[in-house]
Amino acid sequence: MAEQLRIDRLGAGGDGIADTAAGPVPVPYALPGERVTVEPGGKRARLLSVDEASPDRVEPFCIYFGRCGGCVSQHLAAEPYAAWKREKVVSTLARAGLAPPIGALADGHGAGRRRMVLHARRIDGEVRSGFMAAGSHDLVPIEHCPITVPALHPAPAIAARLAAVVIASGKPIDVAVTASEAGLDADLRGSGKASDKQRQSLIALAAELDLARVSIHGDVLVERRPPAVPMGRAAPVPPPGGFLQATAAGEAALTALVLEGVGKAKRVADLFCGVGPFALRLAERAEVHAVEGEAALLAALDKAARRTEGLRRITTEQRDLFRRPLLPTEFERFDAAVIDPPRQGAEAQIRQMIPSSLDRVIMVSCDAGTFARDAAALVSGGFALESVVPVDQFKWSAHVELVGTFRRERGRGGRSPRRR
Ligand SMILES: C[S@@+](CC[C@H](N)C(=O)[O-])C[C@H]1O[C@@H](n2cnc3c(N)ncnc32)[C@H](O)[C@@H]1O
């Protein structure tokens, strides 16, 4: 039965929250101050109508908003949106006992997302592609996603054509499509091994659709042009489906903060370096040791570094930094370390940094919770958290990236640096 609620606050995931006598009730797409009618049930109530709208409510620009599970906050005006995202960082750090200077939310969206992972499925005999509905396994077919760069607007139709070659009835296919300088790069996953006939059809489609590269489960079927992504003076070719920051603007904002944090350091360790967006730019002024678990990402970085003139020396090391973090003695040759771990953070690596000779650490993170945990460990180990800047790379989602700059406090722990 429908009921009326008053929304009290905006939750971390973007739902409006009504604090009722029975506990908090999350209402997707509702805003603080609004009176709404909802259908209760499950973990979240369903919004039926907004009876008194917030002055912060705006018209969502995407026709799929509310059905597609990608964006959660297109209905919120720009200023309260930025305040909500920044506040997520402020409160998460405060819960870990940290109150550093926190900058304004930096734009990381720019021209839009340069990669999208589309799901493709056969619906009524036709292969369609799109995103999953919020909190469900239902496919919402889309024509184009307006938060991607224009080059990706044809991607849903392309993904459906590629998936149709390998799709078995009922089984969904994921197609990661990346916009590169040389055109679109598509990687298909979920189909199992493709037959020779299917591989030939995909190669023919790559030519028909003028794609730069097509791969299946990371195995390149055809590379018509190397799908390079410029990073400073260099332009690595990321391996199929390999990690890449979601937007060029986000990568630029994160890199600018990394470069600023590293300052005049002459020897820098770049941990969890990926394909090298930081290492390749840092090497324009410092020697870099780049460490990463995935061999294909490191190989792309190494190849780009060797092809680029005028860079300082970049050495690479494949290493599982969860199981085998760099040890305190290994940091003796560096003036600064950059660390950009996956969502789960870098607990083991941070523990080894504390008793090292490092006096500058720049931590990039896509998860405020694990950032707060790791930052608190560094702070109790003798580092000061000098600044944090939240970066909005995944605009209109609930995610926020952040960059923290740490400097060792004088006389607080750490080995003496080796004399050079
Ligand atoms: C958030 S991404 C950052 C990559 C890079 N800094 C960038 O900006 O593109 C995290 C990186 O950590 C790598 N990674 C994940 N687990 C790892 C591990 N246990 N050891 C080393 N690297 C790992 C991933 O392959 C990925 O490249």
User: Mind listing the pLDDT tens digit for each residue in 259-299?
Assistant: 999 999 999 999 999 999 999 999 999 999 999 999 999 99
Angle made by CA atoms 182, 187, 190, in degrees to the nearest 5 = 170
Pairing of strands 9-10, 16-20: antiparallel
- Indicate which atom in ligand 1 lies nearest the CA of residue 323: 19
**Catalytic position from the list 71, 145, 273, 366:** 366
Residue 401 Cβ inside 6 Å of ligand 1? The answer reads no
On whether the CB atoms of residues 357 and 331 are closer than 8 A, the answer is yes
pLDDT band at residue 106, thresholds of 50, 70 and 90?
very high
416 Cβ contact partners less than 8 Å away, ≥ 6 residues apart: 357
Domain architecture of the chain: domains with CATH: 1-57 (2.40.50.140), 83-109+242-408 (3.40.50.150), 115-223 (2.40.50.1070)
What's the DSSP call for residue 106? E
Residue 411: per-residue pLDDT: 74
Contact 351, 325 (CB under 8 A): yes
Cα angle, residue 178 at apex, residues 177 and 180 outer, rounded to 5°: 145
pLDDT tier for residue 157 given thresholds of 50, 70 and 90:
very high
Residues 177/115, Cβ–Cβ less than 8 Å: yes
The ligand 1 atom at the shortest distance from the C-alpha of residue 243 is 27
Strands 126-132 and 23-27, by their bridges, are unpaired
Least confident window among 106-115, 124-133, 147-156, 286-295: 124-133
Identify the sign of the CA torsion 346, 293, 401, 66: negative
Does the pTM surpass 0.80? The reply is yes
341: closest CA among 240, 401, 272?
Answer: 272
Which secondary structure element, helix H or strand E, spans residue 221, and what is its range?
Answer: strand 219-223
Q: Kindly report the protein residue whose alpha carbon is nearest to atom 13 of ligand 1.
A: 272
What is the per-residue pLDDT for 302?
98
pLDDT score, position 419 = 41
* Pocket flag, ligand 1, residue 322 (CB < 6 Å): yes
Q: What is the spatial distance between Cα 399 and Cα 370, in angstroms, rounded to a whole number?
A: 13
* Cβ(152)–Cβ(168) below 8 Å: no
Question: Is 418 a residue whose pLDDT tops 60?
Answer: no
Q: Which residues contact 200 (CB under 8 A, 6 or more apart)?
A: none
The residue to mutate among 237, 243, 280, 291, having the most atoms of ligand 1 within 8 angstroms of its beta carbon, is 243
Section 4-24 average pLDDT: 96
Q: Left if phi > 0, otherwise alpha if psi is -120 to 50, otherwise beta: which for 149?
A: beta
CB of 374 closer than 6 A to ligand 1? no
Residues annotated within the binding site for S-adenosyl-L-methionine are 245, 272, 292, 340
Say yes or no: CB of residue 348 within 6 Å of ligand 1: no
Average pLDDT on 17-34 reads: 96
Please indicate whether residue 260 or residue 122 has the higher confidence score (pLDDT). Answer: 260
Banded pLDDT at 171 (limits 50, 70, 90): confident
Name residue 294's amino acid. Answer: E
Cα(332)–Cα(417) distance, integer angstroms? 5
- The number of beta carbons lying within 10 Å of the beta carbon of residue 263 is 13
Q: CA dihedral defined by 203, 173, 147, 245, rounded to 10 degrees?
A: -80
List the one residue out of 385, 386, 414, 388 whose CA is nearest residue 401: 388
342 lines ligand 1 (CB under 6 A): yes
Average pLDDT over residues 109-134: 93
Distance 80 CA to ligand 1 centre (A): 32
| Residue-by-residue DSSP string for 2-48 | -EEEE--EE-TTS-EEEEETTEEEEETT--TT-EEEEE--SSSPEEE
Q: How far, in Å, from the CA of 242 to the mean position of ligand 1?
A: 10
State the pLDDT confidence band at 169, using cuts at 50, 70 and 90: low
Q: Which pLDDT belongs to residue 24? A: 96
Pure H helices in 318-359: 347-353
* Nearest residue (CA) to ligand 1, atom 7: 274
Q: Clarify whether 71 is annotated catalytic.
A: no
DSSP state of 11: -
User: What is the tens place of the pLDDT at every residue in 195-209?
Assistant: 999 999 999 999 999
pLDDT at 417 (0 to 100): 56
Average pLDDT rounded to a whole number, residues 308-313: 97
Instruction: Enter the tokens of residue 41.
Output: 């049930």
pLDDT tens for each residue of 31-41: 999 999 999 98
Average pLDDT, the chain: 95
Contact 322, 348 (CB under 8 A): yes
Best CA proximity match to 283, nearest among 253, 248, 307: 307
Query: How many CB atoms neighbour CB 396 within 10 A?
Result: 21
| Ligand 1 atom nearest to 322, measured from its CA | 19
Rounded to the nearest angstrom, the distance between the alpha carbon of 2 and the centre of ligand 1 is 46
